[in-house]
Every structure is written in C-alpha cells, then in structure tokens.
C-alpha cells in the first residue's frame, strides 16, 4: 500500500496538538506504521528541505523546524499522500479550508516562516526520500 511521511512540526508539538493531528489521520482510516519524537539537527533539516535551498524563507524554515521536538510518522493506505494533504489543507493557514488541520488549528503569527503545524509528503518519490531520512530501514 502507499505510504507517506507526516510531521507534526515544532509549533504543533509545542501547542499540544500531536494527539489531535494523529487522531484525525487515524480517524480518516489510515494505518500508523512508524512514530518518533525527535529534535532535528541542522544537517537533517537541510536534507529534508533541500528543494527550498536559496529561497528567502530557507533559513527561517531551518530555524523553525529545528527549534524543538517534532513528531515524525509514517501512515499507510490507498492514496494516503493525497488524502493527508487534503486533511492538512493549504500551506497558508489563514486561507486553509475550515475542517482541515491547518484551517482549524493554525493562523498567521506574523513570523518570517509559515508555522502550519504539519507536513506531508507531496508525491510517492518525496515520500520514499523523506521516509528514508526519518526511518532508515523501514
Ligand atoms: P509541507 O511541505 O510542510 O507539507 P507545503 O508542501 O504546503 O507544506 P512547501 O512549499 O513544501 O509547503 O514549503 C515547506 C514549508 O515551508 C511550508 O509548510 C511552510 O512551513 C514554509 N513555507 C513555504 N512557503 C513559505 C513562504 N512563502 N514564506 C514562509 N514560509 C514558507
């Protein structure tokens, strides 16, 4: 079955939303296959976000994603990549649809980086690459 990498980013963990995020994904019917709480070092963060190197928000993004513990999870199920991105909502939480994780639980805090609670892989190729970063050997 298809797999995706999901992060509850440091803002979500700090705000106590880990259970709420995992609850929504499990309630949708996807299967949890791996779970870990960890704090990323700069190298691992840069590896995850390599595609954004050179963008104006790259440094703030690394600062943010390494600022505290995050929760990494792998979920499995038919079309889980697309399904989780729908659950997460649009990148910008101000306009993310109500009912989505970002639409219901995040807002603009006026920071240089968009703190939007969750990450989800955007393609099977990204999922394989990201799962290998967080759960090598899975
Ligand atoms: P994610 O990959 O986290 O699920 P996404 O695919 O919607 O979100 P990307 O374009 O991959 O977003 O950007 C990765 C992350 O970088 C975003 O989730 C957000 O935290 C941050 N980000 C993206 N665009 C901007 C921006 N223009 N300004 C500030 N931060 C941004």
Domain containing residue 30: CATH number: 3.30.70.141
Structural domains in the chain (count): 1
Q: List the Cα angle 81/83/11 in 5-degree steps.
A: 80
Q: How far, rounded to the nearest angstrom, does the alpha carbon of residue 104 sit from its chain's CA centroid?
A: 16
Taking each helix axis from N to C terminus, what angle separates 80-88 and 18-28, rounded to the nearest 10 degrees? Answer: 130
**How far is the centre of ligand 1, averaged over its atoms, from the C-alpha of 61 (Å)?**
8
The pLDDT value given to residue 73: 99
The pLDDT value given to residue 134: 98
pTM of the entire structure? 0.96
The answer to the question of whether 24 is labelled as a binding residue is: no
Any ligand 1 atom below 6 A from CB of 119: yes
**How far is the centre of ligand 1, averaged over its atoms, from the C-alpha of 36 (Å)?**
22
* Residue 127 CB partners (closer than 8 Å, separation 6+): 2, 3, 4, 5, 81, 121
**Pair of tokens at residue 105:** 């639980």
The answer to the question of whether 3 is labelled as a binding residue is: no
The answer to the question of whether 58 is labelled as a binding residue is: no
The pLDDT value given to residue 83: 98
The pLDDT value given to residue 88: 99
The pLDDT value given to residue 81: 99
The pLDDT value given to residue 70: 99
- Residue ranges of the chain whose pLDDT lies below 70: none
Q: Name the CA radius of gyration of the chain, rounded.
A: 14
**Domain hosting residue 77, numbered range:** 3-134
Q: Is position 119 annotated as part of the catalytic site?
A: yes
């Amino acid at each position: 079955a298809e797999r995706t990498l999901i992060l509850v980013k440091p803002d979500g963990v700090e705000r106590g939303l880990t259970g709420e995020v995992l609850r929504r994904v499990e309630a949708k019917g996807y299967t949890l296959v791996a779970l870990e709480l960890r704090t990323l070092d700069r190298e691992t963060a840069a590896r995850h976000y390599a595609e954004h190197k050179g963008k104006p928000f790259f440094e703030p993004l690394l600062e943010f994603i390494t600022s505290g513990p995050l929760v990494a999870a792998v979920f499995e199920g038919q079309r889980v990549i697309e399904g989780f991105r729908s659950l997460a909502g649009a990148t910008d939480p101000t306009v993310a649809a109500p009912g989505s994780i970002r639409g219901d639980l995040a807002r603009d805090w006026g920071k240089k980086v968009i703190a939007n609670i969750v990450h989800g892989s955007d393609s099977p190729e990204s999922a394989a690459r990201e799962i290998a970063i967080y759960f090598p050997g899975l």
